[in-house]
Amino acid sequence: MTVGRFATIEDIRAALKSKTTSAVELARERLDRIAASDLNSFVTVCEEDALAAAGEADKRIACQGQTGLVGVPIAHKDVFCTAGVRTTCASRMLSEFVPPYDATVVTKLRDSGAIMLGKTNMDEFAMGSSNENSYFGPVSNPWDATRVPGGSSGGSAAAVAAGLVPAATATDTGGSIRQPAALCGISGLKPTYGRVSRYGMVAFASSLDQGGPMARSAEDLRLLLQHMEGHDPLDSTSADVGPTPHETDGTGLRIGIPREYFAATVDDAAAILERLGHGRLEISLPHTAYATAAYYVVASAEASTNLSRYDGVRFGHRAESPVDLDDLYARSRSEGFGAEVKRRILTGTYALSIGYYDAYYRKAQRLRRLVRQDFLDAFETVDLILAPSTPSTAFEKGALVAPDETKDPTVMYAQDVYTVPASLAGLPALSIPCGIVDGLPVGMQIIAPHFGEDRLLSLAESFQRETDWHQRTPAVHGTNARASDTSGGRYSMEGRRGSAGSGGGAQRMQSAGPAMGRS
Amino acid sequence: MSDWESVIGLEAHVQLKTRTKIFSGAPTAFGAPPNTQACAVDLALPGVLPVLNGEAVRMAIVFGLAVEGDIAERCRFDRKSYFYPDLPKGYQISQLDEPIVTGGHLDIENEDGSTKRIRLTRAHLEEDAGKSLHEDYQGKTGIDLNRAGTPLLEVVSEPELASPEEAGRYFRTLHTLVRTLGICDGNLNEGSMRCDANISVRQRGSTELGERTEIKNLNSFRFLDKALAFEIERQIDVLESGGRVERQTLLYDAERDETRPMRGKELSDDYRYFPDPDLLPVMVTESMLDEARATLPELPTAKRRRYVEELGLTDYDARWLTVDPDTATYFDAAAAASGQPKAAANWVMGDVAAAVRREEAAWTRVPVPAAQLGKLIKRIEDGSISGKIAKSLFQTLWNDGGDVDELIGSRGLKQVSDSDEIAAIVRRVIDANPAQVEQVRSGKTRVLGFLVGQAMKASGGKANPRRVSELLQEALSGDAS
Amino acid sequence: MDADLIDKLMRLAALRLEAQERELLKDNLQKIVHLIDTMQSADTDAVEPLDHPLDGVQPLRPDRVSEVVDRNRFQETAPEVRDGLYLVPRVVE
C-alpha cells in the first residue's frame, strides 16, 4: 500500500517503519508523479540514481529500522551542486554544467538517508520572485496553473505543494523560500544566516544567501533543518553554534506585530495565537521603508562580482568562435545570462563604481545596520515577530514579467517587501499557511532573533496543531489523481477558525506601495 | 642630466612560503604540470568559498613586526574586480582600506656605509593570479592556474628611493629580510618576488612630484635596474623636449631594453573594490602577536651588529656573511661549533664559499655540516692538524663526508708534536743540508724557513711546524756552542 | 543613466547588447535607480556600514594540503583545453 500523495515526512517515516511501504515503492511512485506532472517544477530528474539509493535505503531499513531521513524522497533546488548531476541554476550559462563536488547540504541530506529524486526549477541564479526567469521555462502554481508559484525557489515550492515530493531544499536571499512557500500554501524556513553551510550553493549574494527547507509542516521543517544545519569549515561565514535545540514549549510568548507592515492579513492568525495564550504587542520597525532599496543595492553589488566567474573559460557557456578575448567574454556572458540577471549585474556594477559607491553601496550597508538595529530593539520587548509573508497571493503568469521585458522590474521587486528586512538582518524567519483567499493560499511570516529557530518552529508547530491550513491541498491536475484520494476530504474542509483572508475576496491583498514608503 | 632627479616607489609582491594557497587547501609547489595544483576554489567553480590560511596571516604579522609597522587588530579583505583569463573569479581578493600592516620601514645601506631609512606605506595580503602562456597554441593563449591563489604580501614603499641603485638596494634588503624571516623562498627566477615601480622625475631641488608612470612585473634585480634607468631617461627626454609625461602603466621589454605601454592585462579604470562578503573581518589577537614575536629570528641589521660587536668580525665580513640568511645560518653554526668566530668567518668566506660557488651548492645543503667545519677549525687551533692538512681534509669531507676526528685518526693525519720524533727528523735534515745549516749559522736566518720546510716534507706534512722551528733553532744554536 | 554610463557599465560587466535590448535596459535601469534612490532620504551619517548580518570573526585554516586535484575531472566541463591548459583567444599584454 502507498502513503498519501500529500503525506508529510512524519507520515512517510511511520509508513517505512511499519513496512507498509518501501523506499523503492515510494521513490517509484513519486518519480511517476513527477513524470506525469505538467508544472515544470523539475529541471533534472535522477530516476536511476534515486531508485538505486532507495534500494540501499530499504536494505538499511531492513537491518536497522527507519532512522533519520532514510528512504525519504526529496528534491534539491538546482542551485545546490550535486556531484555528477547537472546543476544549472536555471541558466543557459550552466545548462550543461556537471559539478565535480556536492554542496555540504547535499552531502548532509544524503548522509541522513534522504533520496534525491531530482533538481528543481528556479529563477535564474535565484534572481526573481515568480520563477518566470528560468532558462527552462516558468513553473506553474499547483493551485492555479495560470499563476506563478513565486520565486526564486518556485520549483521546490510547487513540487512540495503538488505532492511530488514531501520536502525540498531551497535558498532564500531576500525571500526566495518564504514568498514561494506562501504562494504555494506550504511551510518554508529561512534559517539564521550562517546556520546552514553555503558551500556548494551557487552564490547570488553572499552576505544574504541562506539555504533552508520547504515541507508540508513546521514539524517537518524542524526535522529537515536538523539534517541540513551545522558548522562547515569550508564556509568562513558558517556559524559555530551547535545544533538547534528542541526545548521551547511554545507557550506564553510575546508576539510583536510591526506597525509598518500591512498586517490585516495576519489578524486572524494573531487572534489564534492570542487564544493559545501568547501576548500580542504592536512594535515599530522604523527603517522598513528603506529595506527594499538597500536590499537591491547590496544583493546586486555582491551578485555583480559573484557572477564574474562565468566567463566561458573554465566551464559554462562559451560563445561560438570568439574573435578575441573581449568578444569571448561579452558574447558568452550576454548569451548565457537572462535579462533579469543582466539587470542585477549592471545595477550592482553601478552601485560599486567610482562616484556611486558611497551614495549606493555604502549607504545601503549603513541602512542595513539600521534595519538590523530595528529588529534588535524590537526583540528587547517581544519574543517573535508576526508579519505577512507577501503583499499578494499568487499572481498571473506574465502579470509582472513580459517576454519582451517591457515591464517595470521594480514592481516585481516589491514582492519582497515583507521578506527582505529579515534577510538584511540575517534573522531566521519562516512562512506557514494561514488562510485561503479566492482559492489561493495565504502565508504568514514569523521572524525570530538570531539563532532562535527553536522558538520560531515551536510557535509554528503550535499554530499548526490548532489549524489545518497547512493540510489544505490543491486539486490535483494531470493523470495521477489517485494519490490525492486520502486528502480529498481535507481539501474541502474549512479551517477550525475562520478564514485568515481579508474578507473582501480580493486576490491582491494589498499593494506594496505604502509599506515601502516609495514616493 | 644632472638637472633632474628621480623619485621612485616600489610595490613588491612577496610570495609567502606557505604549503597551501591563501584561500584553499591546494598545494603551492612550483613547477607542477599545468592546472594540477588548482582546486575547485582556485578555479572559481560555482558554489565554492574561500577560507583563509592562518599561516599566511602569521607570516604577514612576522613581517610587520620585523619592519616595526603597525599590525592592525582588525583587518579585512576586499574584492578587486577586473576580467582577465588568469583571474578565475573575475576579482582578486586583496586588502584595500584595512591592510594587515601599516607603516614601518626598511633601512638600506648606501655605498659609503651610511644607512637611509625608507618608510613603508603598508603591507597587505592578497592572492596571486595564474599564468597566461603565449606560446603558440594555434594562435591561442593557454591558461595555467597553478599559481592562482598563492598568497602574496604586497609591500608598498613610500616614494623615497632616489635612483635605480637605491631601488635595487631596497629590493635586495627586502629580499634578504623576507628570506631571513622564513616567509619567502626568494627564488626570483620562479617569480617568488616581483615588483611594480612608480617613477617620476623632477627638477633637482623641487619639492613637487612630477607625473608618474608605473612599470609592472619586474622580476629580477637586473631588470629592475635597467627598466628604471630606461624609464628615467625616457621621462627626462620627454620633459626636455617640451613634452609632458603621461600617467600610464608600462611593461619592460627585456629583449629590446625599453618600456612600453601595457595593453589590457589587469587594467581597468574602475576596480569596484568592496568588502568580500565571503570572508569575515580578521582579528589579530595578542596571543597571535606573542606567538609571532616568539618565532621572530634575528634580523639582518641586528645580526651584522652582533658579528662586529660581539664576534669581533670586520664590518666587511659581517656584511658579507649576512647578505644571504642561509650563509649566516651556516656561519653561526660553524662559529658556535668551533668557538672561533674569526677563523670560522675566514673558512666560510674562503674555502666553503669557493666550493659552494664551484659546485653550485645551496647554503642550506653544504655537504660539510657546520658542526664538522667547527671541529676542523678546533683541530687546527689545538694543534692536532696543520692548516694545510685541514684544507685537504675539508675537500675530503666535501666529497666523501665523514667525521673530522675519525678521518684524522684513520688516515694518520694527526700532527706530530712529539719532541723526540721531531728531533730525529730535525737531526736528519741538518745532516742532509750542511750548506744551508752553515748559512743559518752565519746569520742568514731566512734560510731557516727552508730547513723547516724540509723537515715538514720529511714528516709528510704532519709535524707541528712551530715545534719543528723551535727544535731546529735549538739544535742549530746547540751545535754552535 | 546616459549612454556613456551604460557603455561604461557594460564594459566593466563584460556584457554586450543589441541596440534595442540596450534601450530597454536603459529604461529598466532608470526605474531601478529610481527605486534605490529612495535610500537617499534616510539620514545615515552617523551609522557605520554593516557588511555582515552577524558580527563574526574570520576563522583561520591550518596550512595543510586538503585538496586532491583531479585535472581531468575539472576539465571535463571546460570549453577548450589543450595539454592541460585552458585556451582563450590570443592575449596581447
Q: Which CATH number belongs to the domain containing residue A451 in this structure?
A: 3.90.1300.10
Residue B264: the pLDDT is: 58
Residues A18-42 have a mean pLDDT of 97
Question: Which chain A residues are closer than 8 Å to C15 by Cβ?
Answer: 330, 333-334, 337, 342, 345-346
pLDDT single digits (tens) B12-49: 999 999 999 999 999 999 889 999 999 999 999 999 99
pLDDT score of B56 more than 90: yes
Q: Which of B20, B83, B132 to mutate to test the interface with A (most CBs of A within 10 A)?
A: B83
B111 touches chain A (CB under 8 A): no
Q: Does residue B221 carry a pLDDT above 70?
A: yes
pLDDT band of B196, cuts 50, 70, 90: very high
CB distance from A87 to chain B under 8 Å? yes
Q: Is residue C35 part of a domain?
A: yes
Task: Check residue C93 and give its pLDDT.
Answer: 65
Residue B44 is assigned to a structural domain of this protein:
yes
Minimum mean pLDDT range among A18-27, B116-125, B451-460: B451-460
Contact partners, residue B155, CB within 8 Å, separation at least 6: B10, B11, B12, B14, B63, B120, B123, B174
List CB contacts (< 8 A) between C59 and chain A.
233, 236, 240
Q: Is the pLDDT of residue A401 over 60?
A: yes
Distances (CA, A) of B463 to A221, B258, B388: 94, 64, 11
| Cβ contact, residue pair B35, C92, below 8 Å | no
Q: Indicate if B314 and B379 belong to the same structural domain.
A: yes
What is the total count of domains within chain B? 3
Would you call A11 an interface residue with chain B, using a CB distance cutoff of 8 Å?
A: no
State the average pLDDT over residues A255-273.
93
User: Which of B366, B390, B410 corresponds to the end of one domain?
Assistant: B410
Q: Are residues B131 and B257 in the same domain?
A: yes
Segment B63-85 shows an average pLDDT of: 97
**Residue C89 domain flag:** no
In a domain, A333, yes or no: no
* CB contact (8 A) between residue B145 and residue C86: yes
Q: Is residue A448 part of a domain?
A: yes
Contact residues, chain C, for B55 at CB < 8 Å: 62-63
Say whether A311 and C14 touch across the interface (CB within 8 A): yes
Q: Rounded mean pLDDT of chain A? A: 91
Q: Is residue A285 a contact partner of residue A374, using CB atoms and an 8 Å limit? A: yes
For the segment A135-154, what is each residue's pLDDT rounded down to a tens digit?
A: 999 999 999 999 999 999 99
Query: Would residue B388 count as lying in a domain?
Result: yes
> pLDDT tens across C46-82, in order?
999 999 999 999 999 999 999 989 999 999 989 999 9
Rounded mean pLDDT, A28-41: 97
Q: What is the pLDDT of residues A93-116, one digit of tens each?
A: 999 999 999 999 999 999 999 999
Domain membership of residue B71 (yes or no) is yes
Query: Which of C8, C29, C52 has the CB atom closest to A347's CB atom?
Result: C29
Nearest CA in chain C to B285: C57
Does the residue B152 lie in any domain? yes
What percent of chain B clears pLDDT 90, i.e. is strictly above it? Answer: 68
Residues B11 and B58 in one domain: yes
Mean pLDDT for B197-203 is 95
Q: Is residue B270 domain-shared with residue B334, that is, in the same domain?
A: no
In this complex, the chains that touch C, judged by 3 or more CB pairs closer than 8 A, are A, B
Question: Are residues B159 and B283 part of one domain?
Answer: yes
Range of the domain at A88: 9-293+359-516
Distance in angstroms (rounded) separating the CA atoms of residues B46 and B37: 18
The enclosing domain of C16 has a CATH number of 1.10.20
| pLDDT on residue A479 | 39
Please report which confidence band the pLDDT of residue B8 belongs to, taking 50, 70 and 90 as the band edges.
very high
The residue among A22 and B428 whose pLDDT is bigger is A22
pLDDT of residue A489: 29
Does position B2 have pLDDT exceeding 80, yes or no?
Answer: no
Residue B478 confidence class, pLDDT cut points 50, 70, 90: low
Which residues of chain A make contact with C56, given a CB cutoff of 8 A? 194, 237, 239
Domain count, chain A: 1
The answer on pLDDT for A487 being more than 90 is: no
Of the ranges A327-336, B316-325, B405-414, the best mean pLDDT one: A327-336
Contacts of A309 in chain B (CB under 8 A): 44-46, 88-90
Q: Which of B35, B54, B140 sits opposite C88 (nearest CB)?
A: B140
Predicted confidence (pLDDT) per residue in B256-267, tens digit: 888 888 865 556
The pLDDT tens digits of the residues spanning A283-328 come to: 999 999 999 999 999 999 999 999 999 999 999 999 999 999 999 9
Contact B81 C12 (CB under 8 A): yes
Average pLDDT over residues B307-325: 92
From the list B51, B141, B283, the residue facing C91 with the nearest CB is B141
Cβ separation of B264 and C93 shorter than 8 Å?
Answer: yes
Identify whether C20 is part of a domain.
Answer: yes
Longest Cα–Cα distance of chain A, Å, equals 70
CB C15 to CB A406 under 8 A? no
Interface check for A237 against chain B (CB to CB < 8 A): the answer is: yes
Using the Cβ of B91 and the Cβ atoms of chain A, whether some distance falls under 8 Å is answered with yes
Structural domain contains residue A352: no
> Which residues of A are tagged catalytic?
77, 152, 176
CB of B219 within 8 Å of a chain C CB? The answer is: no
Distance of alpha carbon B134 from alpha carbon C92, whole angstroms: 8
Indicate which of C5, C60, C75 best probes the interface with B, i.e. most B CBs within 10 Å of its own CB.
C60
Which chains have 3+ CB pairs within 8 A of B?
A, C
- CATH classification of the domain holding B442: 1.10.10.410
Q: Taking a contact as any Cβ pair under 8 Å apart, which residues of chain B between 222 and 281 contact chain A?
A: 264, 269-270, 272-274, 276-280
For residue A295, what is its C-alpha cell?
536590499
Name residues 58-77 of chain B within 8 A of C (Cβ): 76
Q: What is the pLDDT of residue B475?
A: 80
Distance from CA of A56 to the nearest CA of C (A): 27
pLDDT band at B457; cut points 50, 70, 90: confident
B480 pLDDT above the threshold of 60: no
- How close, in Å, is residue A111 to chain C by CA atoms? 21
| Per-residue three-class SS string for chain B | CCCEEEEEEEEEEEECCCCECCCCCCECCCCCCCCCCCCCCCCCCCCCCCCCEHHHHHHHHHHHHHCCCEECCEECCEEEECCCCCCCCCEEEECCCCCCEECCEEEEECCCCCEEEEEEEEEEEEECCCEEEEEEECCEEEEECCCCCCEEEEEEECCCECCHHHHHHHHHHHHHHHHHCCCCCCCHHHCCEEEEEEEEEEECCCCCCCCCEEEEEECCHHHHHHHHHHHHHHHHHHHHCCCCCCCCEEEEECCCCEEEECCCCCCCCCCCCEECCCCCCEECCHHHHHHHHHHCCCCHHHHHHHHHHCCCCCHHHHHHHHCCHHHHHHHHHHHHHHCCHHHHHHHHHHHHHHHHHHHCCCHHHCCCCHHHHHHHHHHHHCCCCCHHHHHHHHHHHHHHCCCHHHHHHHCCCCCECCHHHHHHHHHHHHHHCHHHHHHHHCCCCCHHHHHHHHHHHHCCCCECHHHHHHHHHHHHHHHHC
Residues B279-301: pLDDT tens digits?
999 999 999 999 999 999 999 88
pLDDT value of position A511: 35
Residue of C20, C22, C32, C37 to mutate when probing chain A, most A C-beta within 10 A: C32
Prediction ipTM score: 0.97
| Residue A3 forms part of a structural domain | no
Interface B:C, Cβ pairs < 8 A: 131
Domain hosting B370: range is 298-410
What torsion, rounded to 10 degrees, do the Cα atoms A199, A34, A128, C11 define? 70
Give chains near A: 3+ CB pairs under 8 A: B, C
Share of chain A above pLDDT 90, in %: 87
Q: Are residues B197 and B150 in the same domain?
A: yes
Domain hosting C9: range is: 3-40
**Interface check A301 vs B, CB under 8 A:** yes
pLDDT for A424 beyond 80: yes
Q: Are residues B243 and B302 in the same domain?
A: no
pLDDT at res. B424: 84
Whether B320 and B243 map to the same domain: the answer is no
pLDDT of C75 reads: 96
Whether residue B443 is predicted with pLDDT greater than 90 in this model: the reply is: no
Residues B123 and B175 in one domain: yes
The alpha-carbon gap from B26 to the nearest alpha carbon of chain C, in Å, equals: 5
Task: Identify which has the larger pLDDT, B431 or C40.
Answer: C40
| B340 lies in the same domain as B447 | no
What per-residue confidence (pLDDT) applies to B137?
72
Q: Pick the more confident residue, B413 or A453.
A: A453
Residue A24 lies in a domain: yes
Those residues with Cβ within 8 angstroms of residue A460's Cβ, 6 or more apart along the chain or in another chain: A187, A218, A221, A430, A432, A446
Total domains, chain C: 1
Q: Are residues B172 and B267 in the same domain?
A: yes
CB contact under 8 A, C35 and A518: yes
Residue B237 lies in a domain: yes
C-beta neighbour count of B432 within 10 angstroms: 12
Residue contact C50–A366, C-beta within 8 A: yes
Q: What is the pLDDT of residues C20-37, one digit of tens each?
A: 889 999 999 999 999 999
CB contact under 8 Å between A207 and B277, yes or no, is yes
Res B451 pLDDT > 80: yes
Question: Which comes out higher in pLDDT, residue A177 or B468?
Answer: A177
- Would you state the pLDDT for residue A517? 30
